[in-house]
Amino acid sequence: MKRFFCGLMCAFLISSFTFASESAASRADAAATVLNEIMAAPDNGIPVEILDSAKCVAVVPNLVKGGFVVGGSHGRGMATCKLSNGSWTPPAPLTMTGGSIGFQIGLQGVDLIMMIMNDRGMQALVANKFKIGADASAAAGPVGRHVEGSTDWKLRAEILTYSRARGLFAGVTVNGSTIGQDEDATRELYGKFVPFKTILTGAVDMPRGGGEPFVAAVRKAVASANSSSGSASSSSTPVNPPPRTPTAAPAQAPVATPMPAPATDSTPAPAATPTPPPLL
């Protein structure tokens, strides 16, 4: 058992070294790849209503989870938030660490997606460091093209979470995990330290060192959700109906032209002279 536990700790150390050696730009590219691949199969992905309503999107590619009775997780990813004009902020590097109690054996890498659904969740994320379940509630998000009219997802939690492992994509619970700013990756990406709040409120330009592919993937996913929801609401009407062939107007019956009235003398005829009665 001690050997197994030592081996597990070594695996966590190796994964930590891998995270440290990976550049911030390549991590942003990996986050974009995860989101693009998920959206490529919309029938078993994030519903369009959730994508359209999300305030922020965070992706942690290859979150390492494992343990022996007492488990833990660690990962590094990217987040972006929607501004009032509909645009998305530059990427904010983040770290995610957490623990869990329960019977579990093994080490597993999963791709994690977090959809921050309301202002409270966004404020918790902007605050730089918060604990899921304490500072903001989280729940496993529904899967599929649409939520099928259910409004429970709007009321259940500030954060809806999804994971992908071994080809399977489903909602997952990550309560107890702590999310904070990855300061080293921030310095690498922006050339200096920029606070989490400055990045996620759009007060900084897109970094030259990378990150644009991740934001572009989020924009593409949300745009696809908007177009899908719009087409669903007007499914009975074709988007580009074929042009109608003009039909000839029915022939109209000829209209009779009225004949002009005969000309009359405008001088009135003289009145007739009365005949006198005969003489007796």
179 part of a folded domain = yes
1 part of a folded domain = no
C-alpha 10/C-alpha 1 separation (Å) is 14
The number of distinct structural domains making up the chain is: 1
DSSP E strand boundaries for 142-189: 159-165, 168-171, 178-181
Q: Give the residue with greater pLDDT, 3 vs 188.
A: 188
Whether the CB-CB separation of 71 and 99 falls below 8 Å is answered with yes
- Residue-wise pLDDT for 167-208, tens only, equals 676 766 677 788 999 999 999 999 999 999 999 999 999 998
Long-range contacts of residues 37-42, Cβ cutoff 8 Å, at least 24 apart? 38/113, 38/162, 38/164, 38/169, 39/217, 39/220, 39/221, 39/224, 41/169, 42/145, 42/224, 42/228
Q: What is the pLDDT of residue 207?
A: 93
Q: What is the pLDDT of residue 9?
A: 45
245 part of a folded domain = no
Phi, psi torsion values for 74, nearest 5 degrees: -155, 140
Pick the most confident of 6-10, 93-97, 120-124, 220-224: 93-97
Residue 87 has pLDDT above 90, yes or no: yes
Mean pLDDT calculated for residue range 137-154:
70
C-alpha 113/C-alpha 123 separation (Å) is 18
257 part of a folded domain = no
Q: What is the pLDDT of residue 36?
A: 92
Q: Give the residue with greater pLDDT, 68 vs 161.
A: 161
127 part of a folded domain = yes
DSSP E strand boundaries for the chain: 56-81, 92-116, 130-131, 138-140, 159-165, 168-171, 178-181
Burial of 252 from C-beta contacts in 10 A (0-12 / 13-18 / 19+)? exposed
Residue 241 has pLDDT above 50, yes or no: no
Query: By residue range, what is the domain housing residue 128?
Result: 23-231
Q: What is the pLDDT of residue 128?
A: 75
Cα within 13 Å of Cα(200), Cβ side? 27
- Indicate whether this model's pTM tops 0.85: no
Q: Give the residue with greater pLDDT, 87 vs 108.
A: 87
Residue 100 has pLDDT above 90, yes or no: no
Q: Dihedral angle at the C-alpha atoms of 68, 137, 85, 220, nearest 10 degrees?
A: 40
Q: What is the pLDDT of residue 61?
A: 93
49 part of a folded domain = yes
Residue 66 has pLDDT above 90, yes or no: no
Residue 60 C-alpha from the chain's centroid: 17
Residue 278 has pLDDT above 50, yes or no: yes
Residue 188's identity, in one-letter code, is E
Identify the H or E element spanning 42. Answer: none
Identify the H or E element spanning 213. Answer: helix 212-233
- Residue-wise pLDDT for 28-49, tens only, equals 999 999 999 888 876 778 888 8
Mean pLDDT calculated for residue range 127-149:
77
Structure-token match 């990996």, residue found: 30
118 part of a folded domain = yes
272 part of a folded domain = no
